[in-house]
Amino acid sequence: MKRRNFIHKVFNRLYTILSTMISERTWHYDGINIKYIWVRSTDKDCSSRKPLIVSFPACWANGAKYNYMGTLKRFNCNKLFLLDDAGNDHCGNYLMGDRYERAVSALINHVIDKVNPSKKIFIGSSKGASSALNYSFLIKGVDAIIGAPQYRIGLYLNKRSDKSNLLSIVEGKENDLHLAIKEADSRIESKIYNSVIRPTHIYILYSKNEPHYEEHIRELLRDLRENNIDVEERVMDYPNHNQIAEFFPAYLIEKLRTII
């Protein structure tokens, strides 16, 4: 089993590296540059009605990477993989902040206009889950499949010694760290309570035995329920947040087979 998992990880990593070398592009919008990979359905005649999956990336210790390219290879539909490399360490800012959200929304809508998808599905784990959730309140008619998101992003990013990721979310508040943290913390919450756009469904995987549940997920679920947003939960018992990377791919495949 361990050998098979290792081989699977190596294949996914090599596939992602090769795809990045061949297919990576950059979207320029409002002074923001977003790197992405767009994979069209191989059914040329009917790709314009295939579902669109948008994959938002998690955080990596050694810089930005695309997520779930190998996992999604088995699904013959339109796929948009986004890179999040903001900050001095290039570990990203959740693709959040007014200009980032305008730029990424414009890119996603550009792809939607091209392929006219039958469904729009946003996915991600950890940091990518927060991004997928955030954008499901910016793009109409989205199903979100997410794993163990951060909800209070300001407090979470403030734990890092480098504040550039946090401050890139809240332009104009660089001299008031307290205000920057508060605004980043409420970024998703304000959308849950105020956005006229709401996700169609949210499918969420998490564990009650890891710190993220008390720090982020319990409060997120409460706010989603208070606003009558459709949520389906899968509760695990792993103790370490990093283990979401072990459990989310199988959950993602299962839910996609149900949705698509």
What CATH number does residue 139 fall under?
3.40.50.1820
For the question of whether the overall pTM of this predicted structure is more than 0.85, the answer is: yes
* pLDDT (tens digit per residue) in 53-109: 999 999 766 678 999 999 999 999 999 999 999 888 888 999 999 999 999 999 999
- C-alpha–C-alpha distance, residues 95 and 79, integer Å: 18
Q: Where are the beta strands (DSSP E) in 71-221?
A: 78-82, 120-125, 142-147, 201-207
Structural domain tally of the chain?
A: 1
> In this prediction, what percent of the chain has a pLDDT beyond 70?
89
Which 3 state secondary structure label does DSSP give 120? strand
- What's the chain's Rg over C-alpha atoms? 17
In this structure, what is the dihedral angle of CA atoms 131, 136, 137, 139, given to the nearest 10 degrees?
120
Domain membership of residue 86 as a residue range: 2-259
> What's the one-letter identity of residue 62?
N
Please identify every stretch of the chain with a pLDDT value under 70, giving residue numbers as ranges. Answer: 1-19, 21, 44-48, 60-62
Give residue 255's pLDDT: 98
Give residue 4's pLDDT: 55
